[in-house]
Amino acid sequence: MSGLVQLISADGQRLPAPDVETWVADIDDERLLALYEDMVVVRRIDTEATALQRQGELALWPPLLGQEAAQIGSGRALRDDDFVFASYRENAVAYCRGISVTDLVRVWRGTTQSGWNPFTYNMATPQVIIGAQTLHATGYALGIQNRGTDAVAVAYFGDGATSEGDVNEAMVFAASYKAPVVFFCQNNQWAISEPVRLQSRTSIVDRALGFGIPGIQVDGNDVLAVMAVTRLALDRARRGEGPTFIEAVTYRMGPHTTADDPTRYREPAELAEWQVKDPITRLATYLRARGVLTDESSMAVDNTADQVAAELRAGCLGLADPEPLSLFEHVYAAPHSRLAEQRDRYLSYLQMFEPAGATR
Amino acid sequence: MSIVRWIAATHSVSWVSVMAVKEFVLPDLGEGLTESEIVAWHIKEGDTVELNQVIADVETAKALVELPSPHAGTVTHLYVEAGTTVAVGERIVSFEVAGAEPSPAPAEAPPNLVGYGAVTESQDAPARRPRRESGPRLGSVPRLESSGTLPRRSTPPVRRLASQLGVDLQLLLGTGDGGIITRADVEAAASNPTPRAEVATVESAKANSAAAHSAAGSDSADSITVPVTGVRRLMAEAMVRSVTTAPQATVFLSVDVTRTVDLLAELRATPEFTNLRLTFLSAVVKAVCSALARHPEVNSRWNDATADITKFRHVTLGIAAATPRGLLVPVIPAADSLDLAAVATALDALVKTSRAGTTRPADLSGGTFTISNVGAFGVDAGTPIVNNGEAAILAVGAVARRPWEWEGQLALRHVATLSLSFDHRVLDGKQSSSFLSDVGLLLSNPARAFALA
């Protein structure tokens, strides 16, 4: 498969792609509308979380604005027993895995060390170290091989991560052992302020070839095409054909995180160019032309999104700060004398506040 | 355990009902910021606002961001004017909110989750965490204290107790180890108050300075106080850092630059330079780069941590530029590899972007030598301050026609004065004079470039 895979163009036209579209033959209008709703909802979650950060309720938030199709298309292609290893930006994938919106923000509010139990949702908690999760994915995939099931490990990472040693090592091992892992790279064009053109002389997908891993480049703003190629890659892995590398070409329309200002390093014209390729707008155009998306159904989707946002806000504001001493609880499984000593010292420190607390 | 439960309780959610006034304090909008500037308000008192409606533009050290309203309701009070720099945690606006809604946890600085860090913007910050000095250090300099008095050492629980009992730690002498203030000191002070007069003096002095600080430009009959923010603030901090860390000296040289002036006029007429702004500064850049090649020790920096010197293989040339926002020093990377036309092009672009305010942060760092064109303001010479992380800076005075000795006679010649300030840890008077005289030689006779290259 060569060239950029596309099924719905930026202006909302369905494009023929005989060798790809069979993978999404079952996605009828109704299921496409559900994908549309997913994308609208996760964009709304993203906007609300960004607002919560600006209001001092979250310490930080990494927005995914513009990457909805890449994450929903791939996230909805997964089976429950597949296992996701993601970076900190894959909040839409987490949404697909059924993780609650409150659990999404707990870590960013600083009230917990981990937002959810990875084994409940078969998704590891976000990896902040760039690309480190790809090693975990390959390792997990080797475990799947040992168990002999047909589940797949999926690693999500960005264009910048492909320059990291961890990602390269993960691909070497995955290729050598034909591990059932999908390397899903969202090339959002910017590694914080470093443009992709500065860090790779080839297109990102071509990097996979050097490891002997077949690569597919897909329009990451085309939810249907993303779903098709993800299913294809998952199928290869399930059949024991080893890893596949997907480059979803997309664009981070917002800042790297809420602590970043992209206007300092990129031109407004570039953003305008990508706004034309917006993943939600193009699907809306397509669905409207087919009469599936009407004013009525569009409003219903927006209402759902608003409800989820309200749920997120209430859930976030309702999170209680943890008891200070709970910090020591999950460091070691068994009692540990040094830790107990630290805990006691901290307790006596906290007790020094007592009279002050009593007068408050 | 009651104490632990109390701490948890203060952070939990409480419910209020019917009409309630909610104050909103400035949050940490980046990671680990201590203050931000309210650039503009989009609301006024009495306005009705929706949840998440943009109410203000706020500039932090990292980004210009929009502030969405945390409540739906009516704006009852704006506590700060646009243009004010506000500390994180300071209230900025209040709303009257209808009905019950969960009130957020008390605003305390959220934890820094990722090790991005942030610059310390406030002079207060070192006072909160007094550094433990471990004997004399080479090249250590006295720290600047905004108040002029050393902060008193204490622990967080003691500071909390002091603030609750209304005890000013600055008035106490600690009896603990190394003069640290203990709980007992605070309790003793609370039960045996300090003479009233002394307290009053301190309080009123504090009130005065607080008033001067917080107002956006408090005017009185004979003075106006203006807040210092953004680029000007950074400039002030960089200058203090340079002057307090690097011992600096300046050497001067007045040069007859007529030949360079003539050469530039000649070049401007050639096709290669027709569309370029070929300025005298372009020639200075070329002369400086040639001279730096002969004096690599000038293109270097002093490393405080390791007390050694790094010499750079290429010249990343800083050009001091006056902009409407203050002084910026954008750089020309690999300036030593550029020919005269490329230098002219680079200078022109740099001036335009810095005036337009579109200079990227990447273009402001990594300089190895700086030129300040003070002649543009019509002055003859100056004693420039070396840019942090560099060894020297050259100020170029105005080119003026002056009586000068020329071939045994007095003639009117184009003369400019060059002033070179240098970091005396890196360079001595001989090295810097020798460098400056090479720059002068090239400008007085550009043909000498043949001999140097």
Measured at the CA of A40, the angle between CA A37 and CA A41, to 5 degrees, comes to 85
Scan for tokens 């006779």, then name that residue: B445
Tell me if chain A has a CB within 8 Å of the CB of B304: no
Measured at the CA of B340, the angle between CA B334 and CA B343, to 5 degrees, comes to 45
In this structure, whether the domain defined by B147-213 belongs to CATH 3.40.50.720 is answered with no
Please give the average per-residue pLDDT across A322-331, as a whole number.
88
Please give the average per-residue pLDDT across A224-233, as a whole number.
98
B392 close to B419: Cβ distance less than 8 angstroms: no
Q: Dihedrals φ, ψ of A305, to 5°? A: -60, -45
Is residue B133 pLDDT above 50, yes or no?
no
CA distances, B436 to each of A261, B10, B46 (Å): 41, 65, 64
CA nearest neighbour of A160 among A124, A183, A136, A190: A190
Nearest residue on chain A to B104, alpha-carbon basis: A317
Rounded to 5, what percent of chain B is helix, strand, coil? 35, 25, 40
- Cβ neighbourhood burial of B166 (10 Å; 0-12, 13-18, 19+): exposed
Furthest CA-CA distance within chain A: 75
CA nearest neighbour of A89 among A107, A115, A63, A123: A63
CA distances, A58 to each of A65, B111, B112, B212, B370 (Å): 18, 10, 11, 32, 42
B178-221 confidence digits (pLDDT tens): 778 888 888 888 876 544 434 434 444 444 444 444 444 456 77
Domains of chain A, residue spans: 4-317, 326-359
Residues of A in contact with B183 (CB under 8 A): 352
pTM of the entire structure? Answer: 0.59
Domains of chain B, residue spans: 2-103, 147-213, 233-452
Question: Of these residues, A252, A282, A286, A313, which one is catalytic?
Answer: A252
- Cβ neighbourhood burial of B445 (10 Å; 0-12, 13-18, 19+): middle
Is residue B274 pLDDT above 90, yes or no?
no
Please give the average per-residue pLDDT across A339-353, as a whole number.
89
Is residue B114 pLDDT above 50, yes or no?
no
Instruction: Give the Cα separation of B317 and B244 in Å (integer).
Output: 23
CA distances, B102 to each of A105, B22, B105 (Å): 17, 11, 9
At B226 the pLDDT is 79
CA within 13 Å, CB half, B430: 0
B303 close to B310: Cβ distance less than 8 angstroms: yes
Dihedral in degrees, nearest 10, Cα atoms B116, B121, B127, B130 = 40
Residues of B in contact with A54 (CB under 8 A): 27, 29, 65-68
* % of chain A at pLDDT higher than 90: 88
Class in CATH terms, A4-317: alpha beta
CA within 13 Å, CB half, B74: 9
A281 close to A36: Cβ distance less than 8 angstroms: no
ipTM (interface predicted TM):
0.78
Instruction: Give the Cα separation of B392 and B389 in Å (integer).
Output: 9
Q: Which two tokens stand for residue B97?
A: 């909110």
Is A336 a known active-site residue? no
Host H or E run for residue A20: helix A18-21
State the SS3 of A131-171: CHHHHHHHHHHHHHHHHCCCCCEEEEEECHHHHCHHHHHHH
E strands, B356-425, are 369-372, 392-396, 400-406, 409-423
Is residue A360 pLDDT above 50, yes or no?
no
At B146 the pLDDT is 37
Is residue B9 pLDDT above 80, yes or no?
no
Looking at domain B2-103, its CATH architecture is: Beta Barrel (2.40)
Residue B4 has its nearest CB partner, among A57, A258, A324, at A324
Residues of A in contact with B8 (CB under 8 A): 320-324
Q: In CATH, which of 3.40.50.720, 3.40.50.300, 3.30.559.10, 3.40.50.1980 is domain B233-452?
A: 3.30.559.10
